[in-house]
Structure 1
Amino acid sequence: MSVETALGLSAGMAAQIIDQHWNDWVAGRPGLALADHANLRRWLRAAPTPDANAALLDLAMLAAKDGGDDTDAALLLAFCLLPSACRIANHLADVDPREVDQLVASQLWIEIRTYNWRRCARVTGTICANLRRNVLREWNLDPDRPPRTTVGAGIDVRAQLCDAPMATVLTPRQELMQALDWGVDSGTIEPFDRDLLLELVEISVVDPKHRSPRRPLLGSAILVGPEFGVSPRTVRRRSRHALDALAARASEITQVLDQLAS
Protein backbone atom coordinates (compact mmCIF):
# COMPACT_ATOMS: atom_id res chain seq x y z
CA MET A 1 0.00 0.00 0.00
CA SER A 2 1.10 3.58 -0.65
CA VAL A 3 -0.56 6.97 -0.30
CA GLU A 4 -0.87 7.10 -4.09
CA THR A 5 -2.53 3.70 -4.23
CA ALA A 6 -4.85 4.53 -1.34
CA LEU A 7 -6.05 7.60 -3.24
CA GLY A 8 -6.39 5.64 -6.48
CA LEU A 9 -4.06 8.10 -8.23
CA SER A 10 -1.48 7.69 -10.96
CA ALA A 11 0.41 9.88 -13.40
CA GLY A 12 -1.85 8.60 -16.15
CA MET A 13 -4.98 9.62 -14.28
CA ALA A 14 -3.53 13.09 -13.63
CA ALA A 15 -2.73 13.49 -17.32
CA GLN A 16 -6.26 12.43 -18.24
CA ILE A 17 -7.78 14.97 -15.84
CA ILE A 18 -5.58 17.71 -17.29
CA ASP A 19 -6.57 16.80 -20.86
CA GLN A 20 -10.27 16.93 -19.96
CA HIS A 21 -10.39 20.07 -17.83
CA TRP A 22 -7.32 22.27 -18.10
CA ASN A 23 -8.54 24.60 -20.82
CA ASP A 24 -11.76 25.26 -18.92
CA TRP A 25 -9.95 25.74 -15.62
CA VAL A 26 -7.40 28.19 -16.99
CA ALA A 27 -10.04 30.64 -18.19
CA GLY A 28 -10.06 33.54 -15.74
CA ARG A 29 -7.40 31.97 -13.49
CA PRO A 30 -4.03 33.66 -14.11
CA GLY A 31 -2.25 31.46 -11.59
CA LEU A 32 -3.04 28.28 -13.51
CA ALA A 33 -2.28 30.01 -16.80
CA LEU A 34 1.36 30.35 -15.68
CA ALA A 35 1.79 26.62 -15.18
CA ASP A 36 3.20 24.06 -17.57
CA HIS A 37 0.29 21.65 -17.39
CA ALA A 38 2.08 19.04 -19.51
CA ASN A 39 4.65 18.58 -16.73
CA LEU A 40 2.78 20.04 -13.81
CA ARG A 41 4.53 18.46 -10.83
CA ARG A 42 7.95 19.02 -12.37
CA TRP A 43 7.02 22.63 -13.10
CA LEU A 44 5.90 23.17 -9.49
CA ARG A 45 9.31 22.02 -8.24
CA ALA A 46 11.22 24.34 -10.56
CA ALA A 47 8.94 27.38 -10.80
CA PRO A 48 9.48 30.56 -8.77
CA THR A 49 7.71 30.19 -5.45
CA PRO A 50 5.11 32.95 -6.06
CA ASP A 51 4.16 31.36 -9.40
CA ALA A 52 3.87 27.88 -7.90
CA ASN A 53 1.78 29.21 -5.00
CA ALA A 54 -0.53 31.10 -7.37
CA ALA A 55 -1.14 28.00 -9.50
CA LEU A 56 -1.78 25.79 -6.46
CA LEU A 57 -4.13 28.36 -4.95
CA ASP A 58 -6.23 28.47 -8.12
CA LEU A 59 -6.37 24.67 -8.11
CA ALA A 60 -7.24 24.62 -4.40
CA MET A 61 -10.11 27.05 -4.98
CA LEU A 62 -11.49 24.75 -7.65
CA ALA A 63 -11.09 21.69 -5.43
CA ALA A 64 -12.65 23.05 -2.23
CA LYS A 65 -16.27 22.23 -1.46
CA ASP A 66 -17.03 25.91 -0.88
CA GLY A 67 -15.16 26.89 -4.02
CA GLY A 68 -15.52 25.08 -7.33
CA ASP A 69 -16.47 21.78 -5.64
CA ASP A 70 -14.60 19.99 -8.43
CA THR A 71 -13.47 16.51 -7.41
CA ASP A 72 -11.22 16.18 -10.46
CA ALA A 73 -9.41 19.35 -9.40
CA ALA A 74 -9.12 17.83 -5.93
CA LEU A 75 -7.58 14.67 -7.38
CA LEU A 76 -5.08 16.70 -9.39
CA LEU A 77 -4.13 18.79 -6.35
CA ALA A 78 -3.67 15.57 -4.36
CA PHE A 79 -1.38 14.31 -7.12
CA CYS A 80 0.65 17.53 -6.90
CA LEU A 81 0.97 17.15 -3.11
CA LEU A 82 1.78 13.44 -3.13
CA PRO A 83 5.55 13.85 -2.56
CA SER A 84 4.93 15.84 0.62
CA ALA A 85 2.13 13.51 1.76
CA CYS A 86 4.37 10.47 1.24
CA ARG A 87 7.11 12.12 3.26
CA ILE A 88 4.65 12.65 6.12
CA ALA A 89 3.53 9.02 5.89
CA ASN A 90 7.13 7.85 6.03
CA HIS A 91 7.79 10.05 9.06
CA LEU A 92 4.84 8.49 10.89
CA ALA A 93 5.27 4.90 9.76
CA ASP A 94 6.70 3.88 13.13
CA VAL A 95 3.31 4.49 14.76
CA ASP A 96 1.22 2.22 12.55
CA PRO A 97 2.97 0.99 9.38
CA ARG A 98 -0.09 -0.96 8.20
CA GLU A 99 -2.58 1.89 8.33
CA VAL A 100 -0.50 5.04 7.90
CA ASP A 101 -0.83 5.30 4.11
CA GLN A 102 -4.62 4.95 4.16
CA LEU A 103 -4.96 7.42 7.01
CA VAL A 104 -2.69 9.99 5.35
CA ALA A 105 -4.53 9.54 2.04
CA SER A 106 -7.98 10.01 3.55
CA GLN A 107 -6.88 13.01 5.63
CA LEU A 108 -5.18 14.60 2.61
CA TRP A 109 -8.48 14.39 0.75
CA ILE A 110 -10.30 16.04 3.67
CA GLU A 111 -7.72 18.83 3.87
CA ILE A 112 -8.01 19.53 0.15
CA ARG A 113 -11.80 19.55 0.12
CA THR A 114 -12.03 21.81 3.19
CA TYR A 115 -9.09 24.08 2.38
CA ASN A 116 -9.67 27.69 3.49
CA TRP A 117 -8.69 29.30 0.19
CA ARG A 118 -10.10 32.69 1.24
CA ARG A 119 -7.53 33.11 4.00
CA CYS A 120 -4.61 30.77 3.25
CA ALA A 121 -2.46 31.45 0.20
CA ARG A 122 0.37 29.02 1.03
CA VAL A 123 -1.31 25.84 -0.16
CA THR A 124 1.39 23.19 0.28
CA GLY A 125 2.60 24.38 3.67
CA THR A 126 -0.89 24.85 5.10
CA ILE A 127 -2.35 21.57 3.86
CA CYS A 128 0.68 19.52 4.87
CA ALA A 129 0.93 21.08 8.33
CA ASN A 130 -2.78 20.43 8.93
CA LEU A 131 -2.47 16.94 7.47
CA ARG A 132 0.30 15.93 9.84
CA ARG A 133 -1.41 17.40 12.90
CA ASN A 134 -4.78 15.83 12.15
CA VAL A 135 -3.30 12.40 11.45
CA LEU A 136 -1.61 12.58 14.85
CA ARG A 137 -4.92 13.55 16.44
CA GLU A 138 -6.48 10.43 14.94
CA TRP A 139 -3.89 8.43 16.89
CA ASN A 140 -4.50 10.48 20.04
CA LEU A 141 -0.95 11.81 19.83
CA ASP A 142 0.15 15.37 20.49
CA PRO A 143 -0.59 17.18 17.19
CA ASP A 144 2.39 19.51 17.65
CA ARG A 145 4.87 16.70 18.25
CA PRO A 146 5.16 14.41 15.25
CA PRO A 147 6.87 11.14 16.24
CA ARG A 148 10.40 10.69 15.00
CA THR A 149 11.96 8.08 17.25
CA THR A 150 13.40 4.63 16.76
CA VAL A 151 11.55 2.19 18.99
CA GLY A 152 12.60 -1.31 19.92
CA ALA A 153 10.44 -4.32 19.20
CA GLY A 154 7.59 -4.91 21.59
CA ILE A 155 7.35 -1.32 22.82
CA ASP A 156 3.99 0.43 22.59
CA VAL A 157 4.75 3.53 20.55
CA ARG A 158 1.75 5.45 21.81
CA ALA A 159 2.74 4.76 25.37
CA GLN A 160 6.27 5.95 24.69
CA LEU A 161 5.15 9.15 23.00
CA CYS A 162 2.14 10.10 25.11
CA ASP A 163 1.36 8.03 28.16
CA ALA A 164 4.76 7.63 29.76
CA PRO A 165 5.49 10.19 32.49
CA MET A 166 8.18 12.75 31.77
CA ALA A 167 11.56 11.57 32.95
CA THR A 168 13.55 13.52 35.50
CA VAL A 169 16.11 14.30 32.81
CA LEU A 170 14.66 15.56 29.56
CA THR A 171 15.76 13.81 26.40
CA PRO A 172 17.28 15.94 23.61
CA ARG A 173 14.04 15.61 21.66
CA GLN A 174 11.95 16.76 24.62
CA GLU A 175 14.28 19.69 25.13
CA LEU A 176 13.98 20.67 21.48
CA MET A 177 10.17 20.48 21.52
CA GLN A 178 9.91 22.42 24.75
CA ALA A 179 12.32 25.11 23.55
CA LEU A 180 10.48 25.59 20.27
CA ASP A 181 7.06 25.56 21.93
CA TRP A 182 8.29 28.15 24.43
CA GLY A 183 9.59 30.21 21.52
CA VAL A 184 6.12 30.23 19.94
CA ASP A 185 4.25 30.87 23.20
CA SER A 186 6.55 33.77 24.08
CA GLY A 187 6.29 35.35 20.64
CA THR A 188 9.99 34.82 19.97
CA ILE A 189 9.32 32.77 16.83
CA GLU A 190 6.25 32.04 14.73
CA PRO A 191 4.53 28.62 14.52
CA PHE A 192 5.57 28.37 10.87
CA ASP A 193 9.23 28.79 11.86
CA ARG A 194 8.90 26.10 14.53
CA ASP A 195 7.54 23.70 11.90
CA LEU A 196 10.41 24.55 9.54
CA LEU A 197 13.01 23.88 12.22
CA LEU A 198 11.36 20.60 13.24
CA GLU A 199 11.32 19.41 9.64
CA LEU A 200 14.98 20.33 9.16
CA VAL A 201 15.88 18.34 12.27
CA GLU A 202 13.73 15.36 11.24
CA ILE A 203 15.40 15.13 7.83
CA SER A 204 18.83 15.39 9.41
CA VAL A 205 18.00 12.52 11.77
CA VAL A 206 16.47 10.20 9.20
CA ASP A 207 18.36 10.83 5.97
CA PRO A 208 22.02 9.72 6.22
CA LYS A 209 23.00 12.25 3.54
CA HIS A 210 21.89 15.07 5.84
CA ARG A 211 23.15 13.58 9.08
CA SER A 212 26.87 14.28 8.63
CA PRO A 213 28.29 16.80 11.14
CA ARG A 214 30.03 18.42 8.20
CA ARG A 215 26.69 19.34 6.66
CA PRO A 216 24.89 22.25 8.36
CA LEU A 217 21.30 21.84 9.46
CA LEU A 218 20.11 24.35 6.87
CA GLY A 219 21.56 22.19 4.10
CA SER A 220 18.23 20.34 4.13
CA ALA A 221 16.39 23.50 3.07
CA ILE A 222 16.21 22.25 -0.52
CA LEU A 223 14.02 19.36 0.67
CA VAL A 224 11.93 21.32 3.16
CA GLY A 225 11.07 24.24 0.89
CA PRO A 226 8.73 22.41 -1.50
CA GLU A 227 6.91 20.73 1.39
CA PHE A 228 6.04 24.11 2.90
CA GLY A 229 5.46 25.91 -0.38
CA VAL A 230 8.43 28.28 -0.03
CA SER A 231 11.85 28.52 -1.62
CA PRO A 232 14.95 26.95 0.00
CA ARG A 233 16.30 30.49 0.38
CA THR A 234 13.23 31.43 2.41
CA VAL A 235 13.68 28.33 4.59
CA ARG A 236 17.29 29.28 5.29
CA ARG A 237 16.46 32.95 5.95
CA ARG A 238 13.55 32.26 8.29
CA SER A 239 15.36 29.44 10.09
CA ARG A 240 18.46 31.57 10.70
CA HIS A 241 16.29 34.39 12.02
CA ALA A 242 14.40 32.00 14.31
CA LEU A 243 17.59 30.39 15.62
CA ASP A 244 19.15 33.82 16.29
CA ALA A 245 16.00 34.93 18.12
CA LEU A 246 16.03 31.81 20.29
CA ALA A 247 19.76 32.13 20.95
CA ALA A 248 19.24 35.69 22.18
CA ARG A 249 16.92 34.34 24.88
CA ALA A 250 18.96 31.22 25.69
CA SER A 251 19.12 31.97 29.41
CA GLU A 252 15.32 32.13 29.65
CA ILE A 253 14.95 28.87 27.73
CA THR A 254 17.44 27.20 30.06
CA GLN A 255 15.39 28.26 33.08
CA VAL A 256 12.21 26.83 31.53
CA LEU A 257 13.90 23.49 30.77
CA ASP A 258 15.41 23.31 34.26
CA GLN A 259 11.96 23.80 35.80
CA LEU A 260 10.46 21.06 33.61
CA ALA A 261 13.19 18.60 34.49
CA SER A 262 13.05 19.27 38.23
Structure 2
Amino acid sequence: MSVAAQLGLDDPARGLLAQARTDWAVWRRRDPRLAVVDDLLDLPSWLRAADREDVDDVLHRLAHLGSPTGGDDITAAGALAWVLLPGASLVAHRLRDMTPRIDECVAAQLWIEVRSFAWERRRKVAANIVMNLRRGVLRELGAVEHLRAVDPTWAHAIPLAPEADLWRVLDARAAEPLAVEPEDELAELLSWATSHRVIDEHDRELLVGLAEAACQMEVTRSREGRGGLCSRSGSSVVAARHGISEATVRRRARRSMRALAEAYARQISA
Protein backbone atom coordinates (compact mmCIF):
# COMPACT_ATOMS: atom_id res chain seq x y z
CA MET A 1 0.00 0.00 0.00
CA SER A 2 1.38 3.43 -0.97
CA VAL A 3 1.80 6.51 1.22
CA ALA A 4 -1.14 8.09 -0.60
CA ALA A 5 -3.36 5.07 0.07
CA GLN A 6 -2.40 5.05 3.74
CA LEU A 7 -3.71 8.61 4.01
CA GLY A 8 -6.78 8.04 1.85
CA LEU A 9 -5.43 10.43 -0.78
CA ASP A 10 -5.13 8.02 -3.70
CA ASP A 11 -8.53 8.57 -5.30
CA PRO A 12 -9.57 12.09 -6.41
CA ALA A 13 -13.19 10.97 -6.71
CA ARG A 14 -13.73 9.93 -3.11
CA GLY A 15 -12.52 10.33 0.45
CA LEU A 16 -10.39 13.16 1.77
CA LEU A 17 -8.99 14.15 -1.62
CA ALA A 18 -12.46 14.47 -3.13
CA GLN A 19 -13.55 16.66 -0.22
CA ALA A 20 -10.42 18.80 -0.64
CA ARG A 21 -11.28 19.33 -4.31
CA THR A 22 -14.74 20.52 -3.31
CA ASP A 23 -13.44 22.81 -0.56
CA TRP A 24 -10.75 24.24 -2.85
CA ALA A 25 -13.38 26.38 -4.56
CA VAL A 26 -14.39 27.82 -1.18
CA TRP A 27 -10.81 28.49 -0.14
CA ARG A 28 -10.11 30.23 -3.46
CA ARG A 29 -13.03 32.59 -2.98
CA ARG A 30 -11.99 33.44 0.56
CA ASP A 31 -8.29 33.92 -0.14
CA PRO A 32 -6.99 35.36 -3.44
CA ARG A 33 -3.59 33.81 -2.75
CA LEU A 34 -5.11 30.41 -3.46
CA ALA A 35 -6.82 31.51 -6.67
CA VAL A 36 -4.05 30.10 -8.86
CA VAL A 37 -5.88 27.10 -10.34
CA ASP A 38 -9.55 26.17 -10.64
CA ASP A 39 -9.12 22.52 -9.65
CA LEU A 40 -6.92 21.27 -6.82
CA LEU A 41 -5.69 18.50 -9.10
CA ASP A 42 -4.01 21.15 -11.27
CA LEU A 43 -2.08 22.61 -8.34
CA PRO A 44 1.02 20.34 -8.59
CA SER A 45 1.60 21.42 -12.20
CA TRP A 46 1.25 25.07 -11.22
CA LEU A 47 3.66 24.61 -8.30
CA ARG A 48 6.33 23.16 -10.57
CA ALA A 49 6.17 26.17 -12.90
CA ALA A 50 5.65 29.02 -10.41
CA ASP A 51 8.22 31.18 -8.62
CA ARG A 52 9.43 29.90 -5.26
CA GLU A 53 7.88 32.76 -3.30
CA ASP A 54 4.51 32.25 -4.97
CA VAL A 55 4.72 28.52 -4.29
CA ASP A 56 5.51 29.09 -0.64
CA ASP A 57 2.64 31.58 -0.30
CA VAL A 58 0.15 28.96 -1.47
CA LEU A 59 1.60 26.16 0.65
CA HIS A 60 1.88 28.43 3.67
CA ARG A 61 -1.79 29.32 3.35
CA LEU A 62 -2.73 25.63 3.22
CA ALA A 63 -0.51 24.97 6.24
CA HIS A 64 -2.31 27.74 8.13
CA LEU A 65 -5.73 26.39 7.19
CA GLY A 66 -4.79 22.86 8.20
CA SER A 67 -3.09 23.71 11.49
CA PRO A 68 -4.85 23.31 14.86
CA THR A 69 -3.58 26.83 15.65
CA GLY A 70 -4.91 28.20 12.37
CA GLY A 71 -8.04 27.11 10.56
CA ASP A 72 -7.95 23.60 12.05
CA ASP A 73 -9.34 22.28 8.78
CA ILE A 74 -8.60 18.57 8.36
CA THR A 75 -9.45 18.77 4.67
CA ALA A 76 -6.87 21.54 4.13
CA ALA A 77 -4.29 19.43 5.94
CA GLY A 78 -5.17 16.60 3.58
CA ALA A 79 -4.73 18.89 0.58
CA LEU A 80 -1.28 19.93 1.77
CA ALA A 81 -0.30 16.33 2.47
CA TRP A 82 -1.47 15.37 -1.02
CA VAL A 83 0.64 18.11 -2.61
CA LEU A 84 3.68 16.89 -0.66
CA LEU A 85 3.19 13.22 -1.57
CA PRO A 86 6.01 13.17 -4.18
CA GLY A 87 8.55 14.17 -1.53
CA ALA A 88 7.07 11.79 1.02
CA SER A 89 7.04 8.93 -1.47
CA LEU A 90 10.69 9.57 -2.25
CA VAL A 91 11.50 9.36 1.46
CA ALA A 92 9.60 6.07 1.67
CA HIS A 93 11.44 4.70 -1.36
CA ARG A 94 14.86 5.59 0.01
CA LEU A 95 14.10 4.08 3.42
CA ARG A 96 12.22 1.04 2.10
CA ASP A 97 14.85 -1.43 3.33
CA MET A 98 14.43 -0.35 6.95
CA THR A 99 10.96 -1.81 7.47
CA PRO A 100 8.20 -3.48 5.42
CA ARG A 101 5.84 -0.91 7.00
CA ILE A 102 7.70 2.08 5.57
CA ASP A 103 4.65 3.50 3.75
CA GLU A 104 2.65 3.41 6.96
CA CYS A 105 5.46 5.06 8.94
CA VAL A 106 5.97 7.80 6.35
CA ALA A 107 2.24 8.47 6.03
CA ALA A 108 1.80 8.80 9.79
CA GLN A 109 4.80 11.11 10.13
CA LEU A 110 3.72 13.20 7.14
CA TRP A 111 0.36 13.83 8.78
CA ILE A 112 2.08 14.82 12.03
CA GLU A 113 4.40 17.24 10.23
CA VAL A 114 1.57 18.81 8.23
CA ARG A 115 -0.64 19.33 11.26
CA SER A 116 2.18 20.58 13.50
CA PHE A 117 3.94 22.88 11.02
CA ALA A 118 4.76 26.15 12.80
CA TRP A 119 3.15 28.43 10.23
CA GLU A 120 3.29 31.41 12.61
CA ARG A 121 7.07 31.70 12.35
CA ARG A 122 8.25 29.48 9.53
CA ARG A 123 8.24 29.52 5.74
CA LYS A 124 9.62 27.09 3.13
CA VAL A 125 6.77 24.75 3.87
CA ALA A 126 7.62 21.90 1.51
CA ALA A 127 11.34 21.80 2.33
CA ASN A 128 10.83 21.94 6.09
CA ILE A 129 8.05 19.38 6.22
CA VAL A 130 9.85 16.84 4.03
CA MET A 131 13.11 17.33 5.95
CA ASN A 132 11.39 16.89 9.31
CA LEU A 133 9.42 13.98 7.88
CA ARG A 134 12.60 12.07 7.10
CA ARG A 135 14.11 12.83 10.49
CA GLY A 136 10.92 11.80 12.24
CA VAL A 137 10.74 8.48 10.40
CA LEU A 138 14.39 7.73 11.14
CA ARG A 139 13.81 8.59 14.78
CA GLU A 140 10.75 6.35 14.91
CA LEU A 141 12.71 3.49 13.34
CA GLY A 142 15.62 3.94 15.73
CA ALA A 143 18.25 4.81 13.14
CA VAL A 144 20.72 5.87 15.83
CA GLU A 145 23.81 6.27 13.65
CA HIS A 146 22.05 8.65 11.30
CA LEU A 147 20.47 10.57 14.15
CA ARG A 148 23.87 11.18 15.71
CA ALA A 149 24.66 13.26 12.64
CA VAL A 150 21.36 15.10 12.17
CA ASP A 151 20.00 15.25 15.74
CA PRO A 152 22.67 14.51 18.38
CA THR A 153 20.43 15.47 21.30
CA TRP A 154 17.71 12.99 20.39
CA ALA A 155 20.27 10.30 19.53
CA HIS A 156 21.58 10.43 23.10
CA ALA A 157 18.14 10.58 24.71
CA ILE A 158 17.05 7.65 26.90
CA PRO A 159 13.29 6.97 27.12
CA LEU A 160 11.96 6.65 30.66
CA ALA A 161 8.73 5.06 31.80
CA PRO A 162 6.35 7.42 33.67
CA GLU A 163 6.85 5.40 36.85
CA ALA A 164 10.68 5.49 36.70
CA ASP A 165 12.41 6.49 39.95
CA LEU A 166 14.41 9.18 38.17
CA TRP A 167 11.31 11.36 37.80
CA ARG A 168 10.90 11.46 41.60
CA VAL A 169 14.55 12.43 41.99
CA LEU A 170 14.22 15.21 39.43
CA ASP A 171 11.01 16.49 41.04
CA ALA A 172 12.74 16.59 44.42
CA ARG A 173 15.67 18.52 43.01
CA ALA A 174 13.37 20.97 41.27
CA ALA A 175 11.69 21.70 44.60
CA GLU A 176 15.00 22.54 46.29
CA PRO A 177 15.94 26.24 46.56
CA LEU A 178 18.63 27.37 44.15
CA ALA A 179 22.07 27.78 45.66
CA VAL A 180 22.72 30.70 43.30
CA GLU A 181 20.12 32.82 41.55
CA PRO A 182 20.36 32.51 37.74
CA GLU A 183 20.67 36.29 37.35
CA ASP A 184 23.62 36.40 39.74
CA GLU A 185 25.27 33.44 38.04
CA LEU A 186 24.92 35.07 34.62
CA ALA A 187 26.25 38.39 35.89
CA GLU A 188 29.27 36.65 37.43
CA LEU A 189 29.96 34.73 34.22
CA LEU A 190 29.79 37.82 32.00
CA SER A 191 31.88 39.85 34.43
CA TRP A 192 34.56 37.15 34.38
CA ALA A 193 34.39 36.92 30.58
CA THR A 194 34.85 40.66 30.05
CA SER A 195 37.64 40.94 32.61
CA HIS A 196 39.49 38.09 30.87
CA ARG A 197 38.75 39.59 27.43
CA VAL A 198 36.78 36.60 26.25
CA ILE A 199 34.14 39.08 25.09
CA ASP A 200 34.05 42.88 25.18
CA GLU A 201 31.57 45.23 26.82
CA HIS A 202 29.57 45.71 23.63
CA ASP A 203 29.09 41.96 23.23
CA ARG A 204 28.13 41.72 26.88
CA GLU A 205 25.44 44.36 26.38
CA LEU A 206 24.10 42.49 23.36
CA LEU A 207 23.89 39.19 25.25
CA VAL A 208 22.15 40.78 28.23
CA GLY A 209 19.76 42.59 25.91
CA LEU A 210 18.92 39.38 24.07
CA ALA A 211 18.35 37.54 27.34
CA GLU A 212 16.05 40.30 28.60
CA ALA A 213 14.12 40.39 25.31
CA ALA A 214 13.72 36.60 25.29
CA CYS A 215 12.44 36.71 28.85
CA GLN A 216 9.99 39.54 28.20
CA MET A 217 8.65 37.90 25.04
CA GLU A 218 8.62 34.48 26.70
CA VAL A 219 10.72 32.95 23.94
CA THR A 220 11.53 29.39 24.99
CA ARG A 221 13.18 28.10 21.84
CA SER A 222 13.90 29.18 18.29
CA ARG A 223 15.06 27.68 15.03
CA GLU A 224 17.88 30.20 15.19
CA GLY A 225 19.15 28.16 18.12
CA ARG A 226 20.72 28.97 21.47
CA GLY A 227 17.57 28.25 23.47
CA GLY A 228 15.72 31.22 22.03
CA LEU A 229 18.50 33.72 22.74
CA CYS A 230 18.97 34.33 19.01
CA SER A 231 15.27 34.47 18.17
CA ARG A 232 14.22 36.86 15.43
CA SER A 233 11.83 38.69 17.74
CA GLY A 234 14.50 39.28 20.37
CA SER A 235 17.22 40.23 17.91
CA SER A 236 14.94 42.79 16.26
CA VAL A 237 14.47 44.57 19.59
CA VAL A 238 18.20 44.60 20.34
CA ALA A 239 19.07 45.62 16.78
CA ALA A 240 16.79 48.66 16.97
CA ARG A 241 18.26 49.62 20.32
CA HIS A 242 21.86 49.50 19.06
CA GLY A 243 21.27 50.73 15.52
CA ILE A 244 22.58 47.61 13.80
CA SER A 245 20.99 44.87 11.71
CA GLU A 246 19.30 41.80 13.17
CA ALA A 247 21.75 39.56 11.33
CA THR A 248 24.65 41.39 12.96
CA VAL A 249 23.10 40.94 16.40
CA ARG A 250 22.68 37.19 15.88
CA ARG A 251 26.14 36.80 14.37
CA ARG A 252 27.83 38.62 17.26
CA ALA A 253 25.76 36.71 19.81
CA ARG A 254 26.73 33.35 18.31
CA ARG A 255 30.37 34.43 18.18
CA SER A 256 30.28 35.50 21.83
CA MET A 257 28.65 32.27 22.95
CA ARG A 258 31.22 30.21 21.06
CA ALA A 259 33.97 32.20 22.77
CA LEU A 260 32.36 31.63 26.18
CA ALA A 261 32.01 27.90 25.54
CA GLU A 262 35.63 27.59 24.41
CA ALA A 263 36.87 29.57 27.41
CA TYR A 264 34.85 27.36 29.74
CA ALA A 265 36.29 24.23 28.12
CA ARG A 266 39.81 25.58 28.64
CA GLN A 267 39.06 26.31 32.29
CA ILE A 268 37.73 22.80 32.86
CA SER A 269 40.71 21.13 31.21
CA ALA A 270 43.31 23.34 32.92
The equivalent position to 2:113 in structure 1, one of 111, 114, 136, is: 111
The equivalent position to 2:75 in structure 1, one of 72, 75, 86, is: 72
Q: Which structure 2 residues correspond to residues 88-167 of structure 1 after superposition, within 5 A?
A: 88-96=91-99, 98-141=100-143, 142-143=146-147
Q: Alpha-carbon deviations, 1:214-245, whole Å to 9, x = none?
A: xxxxxxxxxxxxxxxxxxxxxxxxxxxxxxxx
Q: Which amino acid aligns with 2:18?
A: Q
Asked if the contact 2:63/2:76 (under 8 Å) is kept, the reply is: yes
Residue 168 of structure 1 corresponds to: none
Q: Which amino acid aligns with 2:10?
A: S
Q: Which amino acid aligns with 2:50?
A: A
Q: Which structure 2 residues correspond to residues 239-258 of structure 1 after superposition, within 5 A?
A: none
Q: Which amino acid aligns with 1:131?
A: L
C-alpha RMSD of matched pairs (Å): 2.3
Question: TM-score scaled to structure 1, two decimals?
Answer: 0.52
The DSSP-based 3-state class of the residue aligned with 2:84 is helix
1:18 Cα shift? 4.1
Q: Which amino acid aligns with 1:47?
A: A
Asked if the contact 2:65/2:76 (under 8 Å) is kept, the reply is: yes
Q: Which amino acid aligns with 2:7?
A: L
Distance 2:23 2:82 in 1: 15
Residue 235 of structure 1 corresponds to: none
Asked if the contact 1:134/1:143 (under 8 Å) is kept, the reply is: no
- Identity, % of aligned pairs? 40
The equivalent position to 1:52 in structure 2, one of 30, 55, 73, is: 55
1:66 Cα shift? 1.0
Q: Which amino acid aligns with 1:143?
A: L
Asked if the contact 1:36/1:43 (under 8 Å) is kept, the reply is: no
The DSSP-based 3-state class of the residue aligned with 1:68 is coil
Q: 1:122 to 1:9 in 2, by over 3 A?
A: same
Distance 2:73 2:148 in 1: 31
Distance 2:83 2:115 in 1: 14
Q: Alpha-carbon deviations, 1:108-167, whole Å to 9, x = none?
A: 000011110011111100100100001111112133658xxxxxxxxxxxxxxx9xxxxx
In structure 2, runs of 5+ residues without a counterpart are 156-222, 224-270
Runs of 4+ in 1 over 6 A off after TM superposition: none
In structure 1, runs of 5+ residues without a counterpart are 147-161, 163-190, 192-262
Deviates more, 1:21-30 or 1:81-90: 21-30
Q: Which amino acid aligns with 1:109?
A: W
Q: Alpha-carbon deviations, 1:10-37, whole Å to 9, x = none?
A: 2414662344212321244332123453
Q: Which amino acid aligns with 2:147?
A: P
Q: Which has the larger radius of gyration?
A: 2
